[in-house]
Amino acid sequence: MVTTHILGYPRIGERRELKRALEAFWLGTADEAHLERVGAEIRAANWAKQTRAGLGVITTGDFAFYDQMLNQVVLLGCLPARFGFDPRGVTLREYFALARGSTDQPAMEMTKWFDTNYHYLVPELSEETRFGGGTQRYFDEIRDAVALGYAVKPVLIGPLTFLRLSKTVQPGFDRLRLLDALAEIYAGILARLKTMGVACVQLDEPALCLDLEPAWLDGYARAYKTLAARAPKLLLATYFGGTADYADRIARLPVHGIHIDAVRAPSQLQPWRNLLPQDWVLSAGVVDGRNVWRTDLRRVLSTLQPLHDLLGERLWIAPSCSLLHVPVSLAAERRLDPDIRAQLAFADQKIEEIRVLGRALDEGARTVQDDIEASDAAQRARRNFAANEKVRGSVAQLKPATFERASPFAQRVERQRARLGLPLLPTTTIGSFPQTTEVRQTRAAYRRGDIRHEEYMDAMRAEIRHAIERQEGIGLDVLVHGEAERNDMVQFFAERMAGFAISEYGWVQSYGSRCVKPPIVYGDVFRPEPMTVDIARYAQSFTAKPVKGMLTGPVTILQWSFVRDDRPREETAFEIALALRAEVEDLQKAGIKIIQLDEPALREGLPLKQRDWAGYLDWAVRAFRLAASVAADDTQIHTHMCYSEFNDILPVIAAMDADVVSIESSRSRMELLGAFRTFQFPSDIGPGVYDIHSPRVPAVREITGLIERACAVIPAERLWVNPDCGLKTRGWPETEAALRNMVKAAQVVRGRLGSKYAR
């Protein structure tokens, strides 16, 4: 029989039970026993689901109270020493202190998991790192599953991927030097699993889909030789990309099989067919673990059938990657348009698809004829679903000139300066102001239907007016309306554009207890009517200072949505860009002088392999320009980026041709500035001068120091002064205090620079 399995399952629970339990525990309204119970229930439910779907092995060890990398840190016993915790008995409180910070230690750094919107905690390694003596929790969870009689396949993040995703706290220390010690610990863990009756372990090595230097490839050979010695059977799991570059080296590793992502990189099926060692299984990831569309069962079967003929029982089938990246179940969705819903598959439906595919191979397609016909019908329905001739026509007819501003930056900047009359080192913020409990409660009341739209909007307008008054009081130069009326920077626009659907419970874990609900692009995208113009005009009416019109950029809207997989991503990006372009035009007509298009997700969309970067960046930059370039010379276009390092793509950011770019940089103590020494950035730039992730109020002197450091590499007349990102997660008291200090710091530096820069 074909073995069916999954690589991992969402752990937040069908109704975000884990989120609620975590937050109650952190607040102190529920105890540890309650949290443990919710965790155990979610695990048990997930195992039961896999059993009900008849999967061949039950995946365990994929649960985490916060994050799988943090679990691995705790299991390996390599906690950051700065916390001073004993690795042998990490309590839940200590575990959360690592994830969220303690009174005297900032949290471990968080960063995006490959090209997903999931954030993991970055292990901190150094020359002094010692592995071993970690906690029992991982083994306990597996023992529970074994005790229930399940044929389990525990998951571990493989040693090379673990190291690759770690950071070293000593500059210059090569973390590969820790590999041998790490491999020994893995060997011990695997041997212990074997004594527990585990027959097969899944070692996740998505790092094999990255560009790897020879030393890392050699590392695989060395480490796997050590860890395989006393191990159960090992399934090497790769995903998010192709492994063909290294397939012949991988095939020499002492493991018993490989899982490959046949959705992202289907072309690797062929090389693996030829290279697969005699005693290996090939796990084909044929159901998309990163998107929400139903699988085309007929097409997938036609790929699998010849593989099955060749490999027989050595063929395994699975989703392409862990189902962590899709919502749990469609069952709860009551309001989705039935025609759209019929095209979708969330995690539970994907498990079912895997079951059907397995049965088709084992017993013949005939036995699942109904399922295949339903899948055919869904595919037929999707073709040209919600297509719009006009939209497609406008995308097809785009001319190169449509991507260009009327004049180059050097000319635009003069006209903008004349129109805006800003001081040197203008101060501004990134867009959102504190989303207070009141704002959130009002929104919840509106969503429940307790208050009507007008009442809701009145409350939001009051909040916006209030935000303008506060900014006037603080003395900022360029104001924002504060985004009180936006639930989320992507969903807000998705709700206002045709072609997007919003699910009710389609939550996906972003980090810890935080979940996002990516909108679903099911049809051609366009803007039926203006989305932000009324609010922008309203905010501007209270002040003589410029208020920025605030939009989310096309790449970020695309990146944080589930997008159609039957059309090129760039086509959808261009459609979104055209909708935003119309909005930019309308804002401009309404007298808005500055318009910001946020693109925080531009960097995370980068493909895993560097050779694919240029192709992506080319259309991503063009999509941004398409949205922005309708701005007249004297309309100032801003963009904002955060969440990642941008040092290596500064030329790309420059190619977006915005007039002002604000970039997160204070968290890394302005490391970003190094890149400005070698690359002459053409337009204005606002490196963030304070971290908005903590309530700490930076002192004036601290900010003047950062501004002056920035002045050393960026001409002062190019420099803006702003925080790292939006302030919606902050409270008003610290926000006002911090912004006052920021404004003061800008004044101090202006004074020091003297009149030579008078504008």
Which residues of the chain form contacts with Zn ion (CB under 5 A)? 600, 642, 725
Q: What, of Zn ion, ligand GLN, none, does residue 649 touch, CB below 5 to 8 Å by kind?
A: none
Q: Is 75 in the site for ligand GLN (CB under 6 A)?
A: no
CB of 518 to Zn ion, least distance (A): 18
**561 lines the binding site for ligand GLN (CB under 6 A):** no
Match 């129109």 to its residue by tokens. 419
Minimum Å distance from CB 430 to Zn ion?
6
User: 233: which residues sit within 8 A by CB, 6+ positions away?
Assistant: 199, 200, 201, 255, 256, 257
Site for ligand GLN in 580-619 (CB under 6 A): 598, 600
Strand-pairing partners, residue 233, are: 200
User: Among candidates 506, 440, 503, 427, which has minimal Cα distance to 471?
Assistant: 427
Helix (H) or strand (E) holding 500: strand 498-501
Residue nearest to ligand GLN (CB): 726
User: Residue 551, interface with ligand GLN (CB under 6 A)?
Assistant: no
- For Zn ion, the closer of residues 137 and 667 by Cβ is 667
Q: How far is the CB of 629 from ligand GLN (least distance, A)?
A: 20
8 Å CB contact between 680 and 409: no
Interface with ligand GLN (CB under 6 A), residue from 481, 728, 744, 750:
728
| Angstrom distance (rounded) from CA 151 to CA 704 | 61
Residues 6+ positions from 303 with CB-CB distance below 8 Å: 262, 266, 269, 284, 286
* Cα(747)–Cα(704) distance, integer angstroms: 9
Query: What is the token pair recorded at 572?
Result: 């959808």
Q: Report the distance separating Cα 536 and Cα 480, nearest Å.
A: 9
583 neighbors 527 (Cβ within 8 angstroms): yes
Least distance (Å) between residue 520 CB and ligand GLN? 21
Among residues 203 and 490, whose Cβ is nearest to ligand GLN?
Answer: 490
**Stretch near ligand GLN under the rule CB under 6 A, chosen from 3-11, 197-205, 608-616, 725-733:** 725-733
Cβ closer to ligand GLN: 485 or 598?
A: 598
Q: Which residues pair with 636 in a beta bridge?
A: 594
| Annotated active-site residue in 325, 481, 638, 693 | 693
Burial 63-96 (b: 16+ CB within 10 A, else e): bbbbbbbbbbbbbbbbbbeebebebeebeeebbb
Q: Which C-beta is closer to Zn ion: that of 208 or that of 725?
A: 725
Contacts with ligand GLN by CB under 6 A: the residue count is: 13
Nearer to Zn ion, 512 or 600 (CB): 600
CB atoms within 10 A of CB 1: 11
The CB-of-320 to ligand GLN minimum distance in angstroms stands at 28
392 phi, psi to nearest 5 deg: -60, -40
Under 8 Å between Cβ of 662 and 640: yes
Binding mask 401-440 toward ligand GLN (x if CB under 6 A, else -) reads -----------------------------xxx--------
Beta carbon of residue 535, minimum distance to ligand GLN (angstroms, whole number): 14
For position 482 contacting ligand GLN by CB under 6 A, the verdict is no
Nearer to Zn ion, 282 or 489 (CB): 489
Between 116 and 388, whose beta carbon lies closer to ligand GLN? 116
The counts of H helices and E strands in the chain are 27, 21
Nearer to ligand GLN, 47 or 560 (CB): 560
Could you say which of ligand GLN, Zn ion, none residue 728 binds, taking C-beta under 5 to 8 angstroms by partner kind?
Answer: ligand GLN
Task: In angstroms, give the least distance from the CB of 429 to ligand GLN.
Answer: 7
Is 693 labeled as catalytic in the residue annotation?
A: yes
The β-bridge relationship of strands 514-516 and 508-511 is antiparallel
Backbone angles phi, psi at 552, to 5 degrees: -95, 135
Cβ proximity to ligand GLN, 97 vs 579, nearer residue: 579
Report the residue from 318, 716, 726, 738 that binds ligand GLN according to the rule CB under 6 A: 726
- Tokens matching residue 409: 């930056």
Q: Is 158 in the site for ligand GLN (CB under 6 A)?
A: no
Binding-residue pattern over the window 623 to 662 for ligand GLN, x denoting contact by CB under 6 A: -----------------x-x--------------------
Taking the C-alpha atoms of residue 286 and residue 486, their distance in angstroms, rounded to an integer, is 37
285 phi, psi to nearest 5 deg: -85, 95
Report which DSSP code applies to 716.
G
Determine, following the binding rule CB under 6 A, whether residue 725 of this chain makes contact with ligand GLN: yes
Using DSSP's 3-state secondary structure scheme, residue 111 falls into strand
**Distance of closest approach, residue 602 Cβ to ligand GLN, in angstroms:** 11
Please give the structure tokens belonging to residue 650.
Answer: 């500064």
154 binds ligand GLN (CB under 6 A): no
Which residues are at the interface with ligand GLN (CB under 6 A)?
A: 430-432, 483, 489, 550, 598, 600, 640, 642, 725-726, 728
Q: What residues are labeled active site?
A: 693
